[in-house]
Structure 1
């Protein structure tokens, strides 16, 4: 009996350790990451409720390095969503789980000072051409 209890406890501990902690952003979205050896895919679910089963609406933004969220110096964080904010998000969310994939080498949340006038991510504002050379 003791062995069974120990085994069940270890199985529970393993399940908890491999689960992802929900990273809720601005009470609007949940961030997820798929990590591999040389790269990470970041994406967000534009919702905070995972209880309802719905089909997935997968949004892949264009070729610009736009972050999904902007963090201004003096205001609250706000969502760009890689252009998804051009659509009726609340209407999409009624029937689908809306998932937005972040651009490669672009953080999900970016400080406003690291954006150009078109809201594209510039890692080094003193040397913006460095991004082009490293892609």
Structure 2
């Protein structure tokens, strides 16, 4: 009984405390790891400094299993920022949360042409659903609220593509979000986007009504399975 209680309290403690892995060698960025019951949440902070209090801006990436940073001989390339950063780090602490079970760092030879991992972990496929991303984002928010370097009441979400759905879901239920931004996001979902695209191709004469309906039925069949 005592052993079970000790294990419970240990898991609870780890779930709420992040480990600062320090500065990414050769880059002005800092890596954090946040232990969770099901996996380890890794997140990247651009600008390694944690002495200045600023609003926190969490960027939520799209749907592909793309690592947050690619290690080239010349240095690191950060992949998941859908806007020009410019001098944004002077105003915000900018953070990016890794995909579940996808390494934060990778080398070019580990990636396919679209930037995603060549070999996708099985656990990623199992965890790749909205509830996972919402839970992980809320865990990071919980951590940020306790940091002296984060401006109280100023946690902002910016969701790109699939990350937009995550941002909307989190912001709708978490009272600690001050602002939200979206890019390349259809609030009705990806399949709605596919179907609208086929209907537009039909209306413009690019494909016939029969072709449009057949391709839409293929989407429905894929979704069912």
TM superposition score normalised by structure 2: 0.43
Structure 2 unaligned spans of 5+: 1-16, 126-225
Q: Is 1:110 the equivalent of 2:106? A: yes
Structure 1 unaligned spans of 5+: 1-17, 124-130
Tell me the alpha carbon deviations over residues 12-60 of structure 1, each in whole angstroms, 9 at most, x when there is no partner: xxxxxx8844421132210001112321111011011111000111100
Q: Is 1:71 the equivalent of 2:75? A: no
Residue 81 of structure 1: how far off its partner (Å): 3.2
Cα distance in 1 for residues equivalent to 2:51 and 2:86: 17
Cα distance in 1 for residues equivalent to 2:18 and 2:101: 25
- 1 or 2 for the larger relative contact order (CA 8 Å, sep ≥6)? 1
Distance 1:21 1:116, change over 3 A: same
Distance 1:31 1:19, change over 3 A: closer
Residue 133 of structure 1: how far off its partner (Å): 5.8
Name the structure with the higher helix share: 2
SS in 1 for 2:100: coil
Structure showing greater radius of gyration is: 2
Distance 1:76 1:50, change over 3 A: same
* Correspondence for 2:79 among 75, 78, 81: 81
Report what 1:94 is aligned to: 90
Distance 1:114 1:31, change over 3 A: same
Distance 1:90 1:49, change over 3 A: farther
Distance 1:102 1:28, change over 3 A: same
Report what 1:53 is aligned to: 53
How many residues are treated as equivalent by the alignment? 107
Residue 71 of structure 1: how far off its partner (Å): 2.0
Cα distance in 2 for residues equivalent to 1:36 and 1:132: 18
SS in 1 for 2:54: coil
Cα distance in 2 for residues equivalent to 1:44 and 1:19: 12
Report what 2:31 is aligned to: 31
